[in-house]
Amino acid sequence: MDRAVDLSKPEYEERRNSYLWLETGLLMTDIELHQVTNDQKYRNDAKQRVRNLLAFQDAEGWFYFDEAKTSGKYTECRFHLFALYEFLKHNPDSEIKQRIQSAFKRWADYNMQFAGFSSFGQIGGIEEDGRVRNLYQSNHRNRRVGAFAWGLATAAILLEEPKYLEAAQRQIQWIVGLNPADVSMMAGVGKGPGCYHHRYCFMEGCEDGVVPGG
């Protein structure tokens, strides 16, 4: 990667200084190593990584990238939440279970406030200029919509709260066709877009438009 991009450039500063992603990667590594070796030191280190990750969360629910908490709000559902869930899945009786559940609740509650700006229920957000939008940043991409579906569904499981599951279902419904264009972005479900822009959408063994594993 160092040969491909210049990490000293300002646009890479957030990634270069992201302790959130560093702790996430270390936690996932600890979980896997403990599963393979059953060595208690990896489980103990994983617990510390969980505590470190939880320390990045603001009381309102979003996360910071840096230890000094000077970065902007990070409200997305990405690998940090997945790593916390994976730890809890493998350690269901951990003494930090409630802290992880609380982290999911704060994150879900913060984002749920942006679920009502459209009749379709996709999660919106606040733009840099202060505008509140239902089509926020890149949430028209399946990756973001699907990630929120997973995060909200997981929060529903951990907290036994149906409202999060209902919100998760709205995200999936958007992907499979409940959107203004009446277009499904899942192969074999509903009406496809009919035109595609990516070379991987035309592969032998798949219908046009299907990206394997997409």
Percentage with pLDDT > 70 across the chain? 80
Domain hosting 117: range is 113-175
Q: Does one domain contain both 185 and 207?
A: yes
Beta bridge partners of 214: none
Q: What is the mean pLDDT of residues 145-174?
A: 97
Are 97 and 184 in the same domain? Answer: no
What mean pLDDT is predicted for residues 33-41? 98
Distances (CA, A) of 113 to 44, 60, 66, 196: 36, 12, 25, 33
23 lies in the same domain as 83: yes
Task: Check residue 136 and give its pLDDT.
Answer: 72
- Do 4 and 84 belong together in one domain? yes
Residue 76 predicted with pLDDT over 80: yes
Q: Which of 58, 80, 103 is the last residue of a domain?
A: 103
Same domain? For 139 and 77 the reply is no
The mean per-residue pLDDT over the stretch 157-163 comes to 98
Asked if pLDDT for residue 77 goes beyond 60, the answer is: yes
Residues 71 and 146 placed together within one structural domain of the fold: no
Sign of the torsion angle spanned by Cα atoms 27, 29, 32, 34? negative
CA 63 to chain centre: 12
Highest average pLDDT, of 12-16, 128-132, 174-178, comes from 174-178
97 with 118, same domain: the answer is: no
- pLDDT of 71 above 60: yes
Residue 169 shares a structural domain with residue 187: no
Helix (H, G, I), strand (E, B) or coil at 113: coil
Residue 108 lies in a domain: no
Global pTM?
0.84
Count of structural domains within the chain: 3
Same domain, 150 and 121: yes
* Lowest-pLDDT range of 19-33, 60-74, 142-156, 186-200: 186-200
Question: What is the pLDDT, as a whole number, of residue 28?
Answer: 98
Residue that finishes a domain, picked among 81, 103, 125: 103
Q: Rounded CA gap, 19 and 13, in Å?
A: 12
Query: E strand or H helix at 125, and its extent?
Result: strand 125-126
Q: Is residue 135 part of a domain?
A: yes
**Angle between helices 40-55 and 97-112 in degrees, nearest 10:** 30
Residues 29, 44: Cα–Cα separation, whole Å = 12
Q: What is the pLDDT of residue 189?
A: 80
Q: What is the pLDDT of residue 1?
A: 39
- Of the residues 103, 134, 160, the one at which a domain ends: 103
Residues 84, 42 within the same domain:
yes
Comparing 182 with 156, the larger pLDDT belongs to 156
* Of residues 13 and 131, more confidently modeled: 131
Q: Using CB atoms within 10 A of its CB, is residue 152 exposed (0-12), middle (13-18) or buried (19+)?
A: buried
What phi and psi values does residue 116 have, to the nearest 5 degrees?
-105, 15
Of the candidates 45, 52, 15, 51, the residue with the CA atom closest to the CA atom of residue 29: 45
